[in-house]
Amino acid sequence: MLDDFSFFTVDPAADPPLQAEIRALLGKCGLDYEDGIEAFVVCRPQRQVIACGGLESNIVKCVAVDPDYRGESLSLKTLSEAVQLAFERGHSHLFLYTMPENAAFFRGCGFYPLVEVPGYATLMENTPVGIRSYCARLGAQRREGAVIGAIVMNANPFTLGHRYLVSQAAEVCDWLHVFVVAEDASLISYRDRYRLVETGIRDIAKVTLHHGSQYMVSRATFPAYFFKEKGMVGACRTAMDLLLFRNYIAPALGITQRHVGSEPFCATTRKYNKDMIHWLQEAPTGAPAVKVIEIPRSVKLGSPVSASEVRRLLAAGEFERIAALVPPATLELLYDKYRPVGFADG
């Protein structure tokens, strides 16, 4: 009977009635819909959606089968269709989220567990060597010492506050590893952000600069799509990212501390800093604890320096004020490449 069920691909934003059917199926299966999904593969015999699988870039999401049809092996077929769609779109390295009780099924389909938030979610990837290969490459840059620090920054854009954070952390560490978030979802491109950080910290001793990866502050490590308890969404987002850091990245480089700037403005970042203390220091895992060190932000123009303030000033074309908050290389880039339309001659 399974051969009678065919699948088709749909852009959910282009078909609101079908999107409503998908939402209803996900709700029936205890899952939530996520607006970031770019495409669904859908099985819809007799004008009723009985199975679906979502795809956002290289992340498989919202794989669901109507409970009345689970005896038809539709789960395997649905996942296979979603994986095939990803391959057709040029994605070979895939991530997948599922509830822990379903991890064994997906393991049998070629996905391997990375981390789990007990009782809520398991993050998996479709290779047994992905995270290990990445950590092996990191390990080649390991430096020995009693205090090995780390900073993960988006630097959107790189400011004097970022430089202050790096310089302060480097002073108390035997070595410091700085990672630039690689996800290209910010105003300033990843290529430009990395170059600005590289230029801005090159004179600070005992520092290694690293490119970011999909295993660190990326769409793959911040899921939100299937948690029925809305209060757990934020916690699970940070947990996945921080557990990957503690369980894999920190041991690869011997990292003992993670340094962050204090956060007086953004509630989301402030919560992330708080979550670090739990997941890096306190949560029971098989990996050593990573101590979280919060460093007070530097102050310019009577206020703590923040990239968000620089972006606000950029939108207003206030380059004189920006000059007090960023290194010369950042100011030059913002003026030449990111100057808003209407301020070109001002």
| This prediction's pTM | 0.89
CA distance 145 to 96: 36
Question: For residue 234, with 0-12 CB atoms within 10 Å meaning exposed, 13-18 middle and 19 or more buried, which class applies?
Answer: middle
Neighbour count for residue 174 (Cβ, 10 Å) = 15
pLDDT at 231: 46
pLDDT at 169: 98
Instruction: Record the tokens describing residue 109, joined without a space.
Output: 């389909």
pLDDT at 266: 73
Q: Give the rounded percent of residues in the chain with a pLDDT score beyond 70.
A: 91
pLDDT at 172: 97
pLDDT at 261: 92
Given a contact cutoff of 8 angstroms between Cβ atoms, the answer to whether 186 and 294 are in contact is: no
pLDDT at 343: 59
- Beta bridge partners of residue 122, listed in sequence order: 98, 116
Question: For residue 284, with 0-12 CB atoms within 10 Å meaning exposed, 13-18 middle and 19 or more buried, which class applies?
Answer: exposed
The pLDDT tens digits for 125-168 are 999 999 999 999 999 999 999 999 999 999 999 999 999 999 99
- Residues ≥6 apart with Cβ < 8 Å to 143: 174, 175, 208, 253, 254
pLDDT at 203: 97
CA distance 100 to 121: 5
The pLDDT tens digits for 212-245 are 998 987 766 654 423 434 444 455 668 888 999 9
pLDDT at 273: 85
> How is residue 81 annotated by DSSP?
H
Domains of the chain: 2-92 (3.40.630.30), 132-337 (3.40.50.620)
CA distance 108 to 89: 24
Pairing of strands 95-98, 59-65: parallel
pLDDT at 230: 43
Residue ranges for the chain with pLDDT beneath 70? 1-4, 71-72, 219-237, 341-346
